Amino acid sequence: MNQVIASGQPGKGLGASRTLAPGLPNGEAAAPGSGAAPARRKRRRNDHSAASIGVALLWLGPVLILIFGVVIYPAIALLIASFGTFSITGLYRGFAGFTNYVNLLASPDLGQVMWNTFVWVAAVVILTNLIALGLAQFLSKEFFGRRFVRWAVIIPWAAALVMTSQLFRLMFDYYHGIINQMLLGLHIISKPVDWLGSSTFIMPTMIAVGIFVTLPFTAYLFVAGLNAIPSDVYEAARIDGASPWQTYRAITLPLLRPAILIAVVLNMIYVFNSFPLIYIMNGSNPGYGNDTMITYMYKVAFQGATHDVGMSAATGIFNVIVILIAVGIYLRFTNWRQGDQS
């Protein structure tokens, strides 16, 4: 029990009594309010943490809402639709289980479409990175008018992909396209080439345009990587008598490895999902002979005979799985953790 003792000071009497804390030796009194101070500090920390979380949510709220509305909700809706059956007008009829996935895997066009997708992505990504390495070396040098050249290079990437695709579609037109007119004028060809209608030329044509619109971003990424390489490394190589090719192979490429890794992964995703270019340049051709997985998904839902929304949704989920596997294999093959640690 708490003990109450009188203060021995004159004039104070019993009114100046003090309380001894239990468990303390006689004569040791607890400091006034010592038990309430930690509680008050804890409450202040909790209030401060709550206020910090509230401020963070206030700033992040619009972004989180945008991410939910543009990414999370459509992904959930796509997953749900892939397990449903729909009428030709798009009305939901009920749960279909894995029927849409079975129909997709059993489709006779899936093999050709997947092969087209592999050729399209591999060719554009590989050729873009090879060309961008040389272009980045050029753009990183000092020369007259370099600023204007850099501005000109970024235009194809900054322009809308739909506009660029439509422009190239007109340029490759069989009757009035400037490509055929120029080649005929130079006597390189004797008759117009059906660049967009022939199964022989349509894929190479789309690959060329894909490289054109992907090259600026990749080149600028490599330019940033080159600018991050210390100049004293090149000076040491020059002193050691290394040739330009030895310097590039032993210094530049290894130090550009993180930039190359990022460029390949981002381009794989970007090129795989490149819908406007493929659809605009190949949309007039019947069937799925020159389609990729992304345009195949659209045509199944809106241009096929059955307008199968459920199978189209299943194709979308299948596309996500394919690109995740492809990126995972690439990261595994390149041992990206080792490059990150170096």
Are the beta carbons of 199 and 183 closer than 8 angstroms?
Answer: no
Number of neighbouring beta carbons within 10 Å of residue 77: 11
**84 φ, ψ (degrees, to nearest 5):** -115, 165
Residue 221: pLDDT over 80:
yes
pLDDT confidence tier of residue 339, bands split at 50, 70 and 90: very low
pLDDT at 198 (0 to 100): 87
* SS3 assignment for 121-144: HHHHHHHHHHHHHHHHHHHCCCCC
If phi > 0 it is left, if psi is from -120 to 50 it is alpha, else beta; for residue 335 that is: left
Q: H helices within the chain, ranges in order?
A: 36-67, 73-82, 99-105, 110-139, 146-158, 161-171, 178-185, 202-227, 231-239, 244-247, 253-255, 257-272, 275-282, 293-302, 309-334, 336-341
Residue 20: pLDDT over 50:
no
Lowest average pLDDT, out of 118-132, 229-243, 309-323, goes to: 229-243
Lowest average pLDDT, out of 2-16, 95-109, 326-340, goes to: 2-16
Residue 24: pLDDT over 60:
no
Residue 159: pLDDT over 90:
no
Residue 25: pLDDT over 80:
no
Residue 51: pLDDT over 80:
no
More confident residue, 7 or 207: 207
pLDDT confidence tier of residue 42, bands split at 50, 70 and 90: low
**201 φ, ψ (degrees, to nearest 5):** -105, -15
Lowest average pLDDT, out of 95-99, 157-161, 312-316, goes to: 157-161
> Both ends of the chain: CA-CA distance in Å?
67
Tokens 């400037």 -> residue: 178
Separation between Cα atoms, residue 203 and residue 282, nearest integer Å: 9
Two tokens at 93? 């009829």
- Give the residue extent of every domain in the chain: 108-341
Question: What percent of the chain is predicted at pLDDT more than 70?
Answer: 83
More confident residue, 33 or 62: 62
Separation between Cα atoms, residue 227 and residue 263, nearest integer Å: 16
- Across 132-143, average pLDDT: 88
Separation between Cα atoms, residue 287 and residue 267, nearest integer Å: 27
Two tokens at 180? 């055929």
Tokens 């199968």 -> residue: 308
pLDDT confidence tier of residue 146, bands split at 50, 70 and 90: confident
Residue 23: pLDDT over 50:
no
Alpha-carbon torsion 82, 86, 90, 91, what sign? Answer: negative
Could you give the C-alpha distances from 122 to 47, 127, 164, 267, in angstroms and in order?
A: 54, 8, 21, 10
pTM of the model: 0.77
Average pLDDT, the chain: 83
pLDDT at 44 (0 to 100): 62
Longest dimension (CA), the chain: 125
Two tokens at 189? 């060809």
CATH number at 108-341? 1.10.3720.10
pLDDT at 35 (0 to 100): 54
State pLDDT tens for residues 230-278.
888 888 888 888 888 888 888 888 889 989 999 999 999 999 999 999 9
- Across 279-294, average pLDDT: 88
pLDDT confidence tier of residue 148, bands split at 50, 70 and 90: confident
Q: Which of 159, 158, 178 is nearest to 168 (CA)?
A: 178
- Across 307-334, average pLDDT: 91
